[in-house]
């Protein structure tokens, strides 16, 4: 892709930043590529086995297909709801009914979040499953026969029908979240950075940016003081630490980064990072959005 751009004398190319938000290990991993093709999700997830929640980018379906059943693809319920919400003016009555069902589903999920994974899965099956069944019956009913496929609301209905089985995956997995919203929040960090720096500069710079964003984002996720954590990691690397596993944010959670005047220019002491939130009970494993 870069060679093609150089041959065409183009001054720049559009690259991609991807993010994986894991549940089994509390880290976020950013990945930089120069296209959406095989050097993206397919290579990164090569050898992975588990559940993958993402949007409706066709590349994720290719990843699932090539995994020989090792990857279960889940669809984001928030994406599906957003399709209906954005098309609500086209068929207000139909939209109100479907949005009401989504509201019931999310009300159940609010009660399920504090529960252990097994109990969460049981609650979802007992209360959310019947609502999904009702929604599926409505999508196949004569009630929506007057909606044309090319209308905005018709496209929303087709999205629901095409993704319906994937939307139900979270019901059978108490660890799986109902949507991909936390991962989308991470992508806002990329958008904010892009607004400031405009251009990455080179492929190597893009990879360095992805590494640093992974480090900082994972430190924040583990409620570490980001500055102290990054400084500690760099200091240990400069001291020839080669066991990178011990430098992961999760392993350093036990360190109480106490105030140290030497950590900031001018001797300004920093207090430990306050707890930002209670730990989320369920995130995708890994979830990804682009």
Helix axes 129-139, 152-167, angle to 10 degrees: 140
Which residues 6+ apart lie within 8 Å of 255 measured at CB?
224, 232
CB 35 within 8 A of CB 28: no
Q: What's the confidence (pLDDT) of residue 8? A: 64
- Confidence at residue 176, expressed as pLDDT on a 0 to 100 scale: 93
Task: Report the half-sphere exposure of 286 (CA within 13 A, side-chain side).
Answer: 20
Closest CA to 98 of 139, 69, 128: 139
Report the pLDDT value the prediction gives residue 288, as an integer from 0 to 100: 35
pLDDT at position 139 is 95
Cβ burial, residue 126 (10 Å; 0-12/13-18/19+): exposed
Whole-number pLDDT of residue 257: 53
- Residues 88/95, Cβ–Cβ less than 8 Å: yes
Whether the CA torsion 271, 212, 14, 204 is positive or negative: it is positive
Side-chain-facing half-sphere of 52: CA atoms under 13 Å: 29
Specify the DSSP class assigned to residue 273: P
Cα 253 to the chain's mean position, in Å? 23
Predicted local confidence at residue 117, as pLDDT: 95
Pairing of strands 28-33, 71-75: unpaired
The residue ranges of every structural domain in the chain are 16-181
Total-model pTM: 0.77
Q: Rounded to whole angstroms, how far apart are CA atoms 255 and 5? A: 47
From first to last of the 290 residues of the chain, give the pLDDT tens digit: 666 666 666 667 778 888 999 888 889 999 998 865 556 777 888 888 888 898 766 677 777 777 777 888 899 999 999 999 999 999 999 999 999 999 999 999 999 999 999 999 999 999 999 999 999 999 999 989 889 989 999 999 999 999 999 999 999 999 999 999 999 889 888 888 877 777 777 888 889 999 989 999 999 888 888 888 888 888 999 999 898 888 888 766 655 554 444 444 333 333 444 443 333 333 333 333 33
pLDDT of residue 122: 97
* pLDDT (0 to 100) of residue 95: 95
């Amino acid at each position: 892709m870069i060679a093609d751009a150089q041959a065409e004398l183009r001054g720049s190319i559009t690259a991609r930043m991807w993010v994986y938000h894991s549940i089994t290990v509390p880290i976020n991993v950013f990945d930089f590529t120069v296209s959406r093709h095989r050097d993206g999700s397919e290579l990164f997830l090569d050898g992975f086995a588990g559940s993958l929640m993402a949007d409706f980018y066709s590349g994720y379906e290719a990843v699932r297909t090539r995994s020989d059943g090792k990857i279960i693809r889940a669809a984001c319920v928030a994406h599906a709801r957003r399709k209906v919400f954005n098309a609500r003016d086209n068929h207000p009555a139909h939209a109100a009914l479907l949005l009401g069902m989504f509201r019931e589903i999310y009300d159940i999920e609010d009660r399920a979040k504090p529960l252990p994974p097994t109990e969460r899965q049981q609650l979802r099956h007992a209360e959310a499953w019947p609502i999904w069944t009702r929604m599926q019956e409505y999508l196949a009913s004569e009630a929506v026969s007057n909606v044309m496929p090319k209308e905005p609301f018709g496209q929303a209905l087709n999205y629901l029908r095409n993704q319906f089985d994937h939307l139900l995956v979270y019901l059978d997995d108490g660890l799986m979240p109902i949507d991909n919203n936390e991962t989308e929040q991470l992508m806002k960090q990329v958008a904010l950075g892009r607004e400031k720096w405009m251009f990455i500069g080179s492929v190597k710079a893009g990879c360095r940016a992805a590494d640093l964003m992974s480090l900082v984002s994972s430190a924040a996720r583990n409620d570490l003081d980001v500055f102290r954590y990054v400084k500690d990691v760099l200091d240990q690397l400069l001291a020839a630490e080669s066991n990178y596993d011990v430098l992961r944010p999760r392993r350093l959670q036990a360190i109480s980064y106490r105030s140290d005047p030497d950590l900031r220019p001018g001797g300004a002491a920093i207090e430990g990072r306050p707890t930002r939130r209670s730990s989320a009970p369920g995130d995708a494993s890994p979830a990804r959005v682009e």
